[in-house]
């Protein structure tokens, strides 16, 4: 039966029998209890820290809003992983000792830190076991199958990350700055007389870019302040602006050396974020493929399902 009964008078079937636990599922030779589902819901924040396969899962996104049946399926999968990659109590103790050493904590200090978050040490111990088993699964079965190429990153950027956004621009900008208004005016006149921008920058500019001829490199829209961005949008390639700024901000003028697509710069800026997101999704996909194979050969029976052929009724 999918109920565990405790009776003060023994297992007599009398009215004094009290239900103390509900068996939600059997997974090979292990069980998932109603209390396991309830404990899962209460320890989601702790699991988020210790379970390497929880963070990117659909269940993590739902959090405490997840249904009991969704949590049960997750725990069934977890039982399968723990059976395939068992961790003894000694293994778990070794993991915890390493954590203590890395954080310079005694066992009592670790327990106090766990209690301060509102969790029991037993929950911590159990989730360290879960986390270690899942890391073994990742290392042995999944990691080598996860690869994110540059093409994957670009395709995700264009078709998902930046979909519907206007094509961004980037500006190759050269600048001359001066706190002295007379000197900036002299520099501008020298430019008008035919000196190159690079020569003017090296001679007059007090900006750190002076040694490279005033070259600021290629800047995307979001790297420019609003005033300079609007100024550059009005300019043609090769054109130099009038003198801008004030004594307080410094005087300056800029030359628009080139206009480029800013996609390369933007892709580079978000590359790590995209790579992590794609890798996380691929880890979840490979995990599901592995679990599907394991489920095909596992004995799994949930509360309320029809009896399995060959087994007595009520089991």
Write down the pLDDT at residue 265. 75
> Alpha-carbon distance 43 to 120, whole Å?
9
Tens-digit pLDDT profile for residues 20-62: 789 999 999 999 999 999 999 999 999 999 999 998 788 999 9
Which SS3 state, helix, strand or coil, does residue 30 take?
strand
Contacts of 10 (CB under 8 A, 6+ apart): none
> Alpha-carbon distance 269 to 257, whole Å?
22
Buried b / exposed e along 168-188 (16+ C-beta atoms within 10 A): ebbbbbbbbbbeeeebbeebb
Both tokens of residue 179? 């706190």
Contacts of 118 (CB under 8 A, 6+ apart): none
Return the C-alpha torsion angle 256, 258, 261, 262, nearest 10: -50
Walk along the chain (315 residues) and give the pLDDT tens digit of each residue. 444 433 333 444 445 555 578 999 999 999 999 999 999 999 999 999 999 999 878 899 998 899 999 999 999 999 999 999 999 999 999 999 999 999 999 999 999 999 999 999 999 999 999 999 999 999 999 999 999 998 888 888 877 877 777 666 788 999 999 999 999 999 999 999 999 999 999 999 999 999 999 999 988 888 888 889 899 989 988 999 999 999 888 999 999 998 777 677 778 888 999 999 899 889 889 999 999 999 999 999 999 887 655 444 444
Question: Which residues on adjacent β-strands are paired with residue 21?
Answer: 4
The angle formed by the CA atoms of residues 205, 241 and 167, to the nearest 5 degrees, is 110
Block residue for tokens 């550059």: 232
The DSSP-derived string for 172-219 is: EEEEEEES-HHHHHHHHHHHHTT--HHHHHHHH--SGGGGGTTEEEEE
């Amino acid at each position: 039966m999918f109920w565990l009964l405790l009776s003060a008078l023994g297992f007599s079937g009398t009215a004094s029998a009290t239900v103390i636990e509900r068996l939600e599922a059997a997974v090979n030779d292990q069980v998932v209890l109603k209390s396991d589902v309830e404990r899962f819901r209460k320890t989601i924040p702790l699991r988020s820290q210790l379970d390497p396969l929880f963070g990117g899962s659909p269940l993590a996104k739902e959090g405490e809003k997840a249904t009991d049946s969704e949590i049960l399926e997750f725990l069934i999968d977890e039982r399968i992983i723990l059976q395939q990659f068992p961790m003894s109590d000694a293994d778990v103790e070794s993991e915890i000792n390493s954590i203590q050493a890395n954080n310079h904590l005694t066992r009592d200090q670790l327990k106090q830190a766990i209690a301060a978050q509102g969790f029991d040490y037993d929950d911590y111990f159990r989730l360290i076991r879960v986390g270690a088993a899942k890391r073994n699964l990742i290392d042995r079965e999944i990691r080598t199958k996860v690869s994110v190429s540059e093409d994957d990153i670009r395709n995700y950027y264009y078709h998902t990350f930046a979909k519907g956004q206007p094509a961004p621009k980037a500006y190759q900008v050269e600048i001359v700055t001066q706190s002295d208004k007379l000197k900036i005016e002299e520099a501008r006149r020298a430019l008008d007389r035919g000196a190159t921008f690079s020569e003017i920058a090296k001679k007059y500019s007090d900006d750190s870019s002076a040694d490279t001829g005033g070259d600021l490199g290629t800047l995307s829209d979001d790297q420019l302040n609003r005033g300079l961005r609007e100024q550059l949008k009005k300019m043609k390639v090769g054109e130099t602006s009038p003198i801008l700024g004030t004594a307080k901000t410094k005087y300056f003028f800029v030359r628009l050396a080139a206009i480029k697509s800013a996609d390369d710069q933007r892709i580079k800026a978000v590359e790590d974020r995209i790579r992590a997101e794609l890798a996380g999704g691929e880890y979840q996909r490979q995990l599901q493929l592995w679990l599907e194979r394991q489920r095909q050969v596992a004995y799994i029976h949930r509360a309320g399902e029809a009896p399995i052929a060959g087994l007595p009724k009520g089991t």
